[in-house]
């Protein structure tokens, strides 16, 4: 089984993916890290040097490759991955794949992201919490139709790490 974690940035896809993989003795892949490794450069540099269209094509190619070749895997997608091309359709139609949307509210995401802005190029320029909330809200509105197609939806608000992992495991088994 492949478990695909989707959700907005800071929803916990990579954090919980690593914990889950360890608990289940599965491999873990963060798609963004995988792309950087394969392309031998950072995602920021891919966007700067080759453009978003190139990045999105590579993202789709690597996603498809992983879903066709891996087993016993936890795969964390980039926040935008499900929203481009046929990526969400690919996930939903892949054999032995379960998709889980780690859902967090705008206040939760603002709280998690406000001190990480420097590490996240997409939001580095946003100066206030109110503007960050507006930015996240707009993105979530656009992405909700894609995220909402996941096989399972787990709210991460006001839950401990242990509670979230337990909720995921209950949905899977």
Mean pLDDT of 19-30: 97
CA gap 57, 62 in Å, rounded: 9
Mean pLDDT of 19-23: 96
On whether 13 is known to bind a ligand per the annotation, the reply is: yes
Mean pLDDT of 144-151: 96
On whether 15 is known to bind a ligand per the annotation, the reply is: yes
Phi, psi torsion values for 97, nearest 5 degrees: -120, 135
Please identify which residue in the block is written with the tokens 């997409």.
122
On whether 11 is known to bind a ligand per the annotation, the reply is: yes
On whether 51 is known to bind a ligand per the annotation, the reply is: no
On whether 94 is known to bind a ligand per the annotation, the reply is: no
Look at residue 63 in the predicted model and tell me its pLDDT: 97
pLDDT band at 3 (very low <50, low <70, confident <90, very high): very high
CA gap 17, 74 in Å, rounded: 6
Look at residue 160 in the predicted model and tell me its pLDDT: 92
Summarize pLDDT for 55-86 with one digit per residue, the tens.
999 999 999 999 998 789 999 999 999 999 99
Look at residue 78 in the predicted model and tell me its pLDDT: 93
On whether 79 is known to bind a ligand per the annotation, the reply is: yes
CA gap 84, 94 in Å, rounded: 17
H, E, C per residue of the chain: CEEEEECCCCCCHHHHHHHHHHHHCCEEEEHHHHHHHHHCCCHHHHHHHHHHHHHHHHHHHHHHHHHHHCCCEEEECCCCHHHCCCHHHHHHHCCCEEEEEEECCHHHHHHHHCCCHHHCCCCCCCCCHHHHHHHHHHHHHHHHHHHCCCCEEEECCCCCHHHHHHHHHHHHC
Look at residue 123 in the predicted model and tell me its pLDDT: 86
% of the chain beyond a pLDDT of 70: 100
On whether 10 is known to bind a ligand per the annotation, the reply is: yes
Look at residue 153 in the predicted model and tell me its pLDDT: 97
The predicted model scores a pTM of 0.93
CA gap 144, 7 in Å, rounded: 9
Who wins on pLDDT, 114 or 98?
Answer: 98
On whether 78 is known to bind a ligand per the annotation, the reply is: no
Summarize pLDDT for 99-130 with one digit per residue, the tens.
999 999 999 999 999 888 777 777 888 989 99
Residue ranges and CATH numbers for the domains of the chain are: 2-172 (3.40.50.300)
Look at residue 161 in the predicted model and tell me its pLDDT: 92
On whether 120 is known to bind a ligand per the annotation, the reply is: yes
On whether 144 is known to bind a ligand per the annotation, the reply is: no
Look at residue 58 in the predicted model and tell me its pLDDT: 96
């Amino acid at each position: 089984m492949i478990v695909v974690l989707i959700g907005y940035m800071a929803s916990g896809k990579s954090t919980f993916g690593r914990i889950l993989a360890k608990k289940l003795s599965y491999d873990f892949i963060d798609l963004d890290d995988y792309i950087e490794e394969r392309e031998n450069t950072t995602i920021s540099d891919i966007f700067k040097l080759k453009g978003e269209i190139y990045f999105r094509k590579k993202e789709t190619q690597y996603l498809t490759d992983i879903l066709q070749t891996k087993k016993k895997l936890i795969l964390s997608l980039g926040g935008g991955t499900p929203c481009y091309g046929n990526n969400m359709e690919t996930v939903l139609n892949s054999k032995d794949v379960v998709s889980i949307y780690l859902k967090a509210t705008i206040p939760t995401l603002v709280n998690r992201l406000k001190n990480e802005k420097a590490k996240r190029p997409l939001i580095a320029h946003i100066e206030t919490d109110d503007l960050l909330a507006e930015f996240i809200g707009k993105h979530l509105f656009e992405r909700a139709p894609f995220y909402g197609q996941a096989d399972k939806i787990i709210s991460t608000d006001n839950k401990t790490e242990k509670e979230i992992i337990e909720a995921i495991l209950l949905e899977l088994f």
